[in-house]
């Protein structure tokens, strides 16, 4: 076994630190060591987007990043999006617009949408579809997800 490393990653504002093998994937660090299981594992091959989290403000697929690559950095997972009991506008909009059915893709889908709205506060339908291209949903047919993102965009602009 290769030498382990002690790494420190700030997740949702909380500093976490563990001794890890370099080959440990960030998604497994988040789920198995820090025990935040909202981030899902779908394909493990960089395709489905279920494992999407924010790393230093950019949406990434955490099955394709090593935990050691995130040493010293900041991660935001789905658990960090709500403010206490107050859901994030994206979470509310997914609920209201039926943007989810089984919910497996939802944490990753919401973080991709979050990234999109940070970069484009007023996205067109085409821009939303382009923005969530890296996230697969087997249930909804995407239309309700697009509606949810559009609704959340309005909410987020109103709050600013």
Ligand X SMILES: Cc1cc2nc3c(=O)[nH]c(=O)nc-3n(C[C@H](O)[C@H](O)[C@H](O)COP(=O)(O)OP(=O)(O)OC[C@H]3O[C@@H](n4cnc5c(N)ncnc54)[C@H](O)[C@@H]3O)c2cc1C
Q: Between residue 32 and residue 91, which ones bind other proteins under the rule CB under 8 A?
A: 44-47, 49, 52, 58-61, 63-66, 68-69
**Rounded least distance, CB 144 to ligand X, Å:** 25
Q: Are 75 and 57 in contact (CB under 8 A)?
A: no
Under the binding rule (CB under 6 A), the answer on residue 104 touching ligand FES is yes
Per CB under 6 A, does 46 bind ligand X? yes
Burial class (CB in 10 A: 0-12, 13-18, 19+), 19: exposed
Return the exposure string of 125-151: e unless at least 16 CB atoms fall within 10 Å of the residue's CB, then b.
Answer: eeebeebbebbbbeebebebbbbbbbb
Check binding of 47 to ligand FES (CB under 6 A).
Answer: yes
Residues lying near ligand FES in the complex (CB under 6 A): 41-44, 46-51, 61, 63, 100-106, 137-140
Residues lying near ligand X in the complex (CB under 6 A): 46-47, 64
């Amino acid at each position: 076994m290769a030498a382990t490393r002690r790494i420190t990653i700030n997740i949702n504002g909380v500093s976490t630190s563990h001794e890890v093998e370099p080959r440990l994937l960030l998604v497994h660090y988040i789920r198995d060591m820090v025990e935040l299981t909202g981030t899902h594992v779908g394909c493990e091959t960089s395709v489905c987007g279920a494992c999407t989290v924010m790393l230093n403000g950019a949406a990434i697929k955490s099955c394709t990043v090593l935990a050691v690559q995130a040493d010293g950095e900041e991660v935001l997972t789905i658990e960090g999006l709500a403010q206490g009991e107050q859901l994030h506008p994206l979470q509310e909009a997914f609920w209201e617009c039926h943007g989810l059915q089984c919910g497996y893709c939802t944490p990753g889908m919401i973080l991709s949408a979050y990234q999109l709205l940070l970069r484009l506060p007023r996205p067109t339908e085409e821009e939303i579809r382009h923005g969530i291209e890296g996230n697969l949903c087997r249930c909804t047919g995407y239309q309700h997800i697009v509606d949810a993102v559009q609704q959340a965009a309005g909410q987020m602009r109103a709050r600013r």
